[in-house]
Amino acid sequence: MQKVYHTFKPFYQKDSEILILGTMPSVKSRELGFYYMHPQNRFWKILEKIFNENIGSSIEDKKEFLTKHKIALWDVVQSCEINKSSDSSIKNVEANDIMWLIKNSNIKKIYVTGKKAQELYNKYILKDTNIEANLLYSPSPANCAISFEKIVENYQVINTYK
C-alpha cells in the first residue's frame, strides 16, 4: 500500500454538463498526467464508439473531444492509500471537492465509472451535491468479465442524455 495524491486538475469547461468520475487515476494515468491513459483501458474506445468519432491519441485530442461534448472528468478521491492501481485496495480516503466543480460549471448529470467510485461518491460526496450518480461499468482492463459491447451499451446513456 502506498499513500497517493491526485496530481492533476479536473478537466472541465464552464459549459460542461456531464461529469464522469472515476476513483483515483491509475499509475499510468498519474505518470502521463491525464485520465484513463493506460493503453488497455477501454474508456476512450468506448466514447469513440458511442459518439461515432475518432478521438485521437494525444491528450489535446482528448480534451478537444471532451470540450465539444461538454463532458468533464475528475475523480472522487483526492488522496488515499492504494496498492498500485487496484480500486479494491483503496483505504483512508480524502475526497475531492466535487461541489466546487458543480458550482463552477453547468453540470447537470453525474456518472461514476465502477462500483468503487459509486460507493465512495455515495459515502463522501452525495450529501453535498444531492445529485445521484449514475453507475457505468468500469472501463479498466481489470474488468475483463464484461464484454466491450456490453460496456458500450451501458455508456450509451451519456450520448442520449442531451
User: What residues act catalytically?
Assistant: 41
Burial class (CB in 10 A: 0-12, 13-18, 19+), 67: middle
Residue 60 CA, chain-centre distance (Å), reads: 17
CB 7 within 8 A of CB 30: yes
d(CA 59, CA 104): 23
For residues 153 and 162, give the distance between their C-alpha atoms in angstroms, rounded to a whole number: 17
Q: Which backbone phi and psi does 99 adopt, to 5 degrees?
A: -60, -40
Which strands sit side by side in the sheet containing 77-82, from one edge to the other? Answer: 2-5, 77-82, 91-95
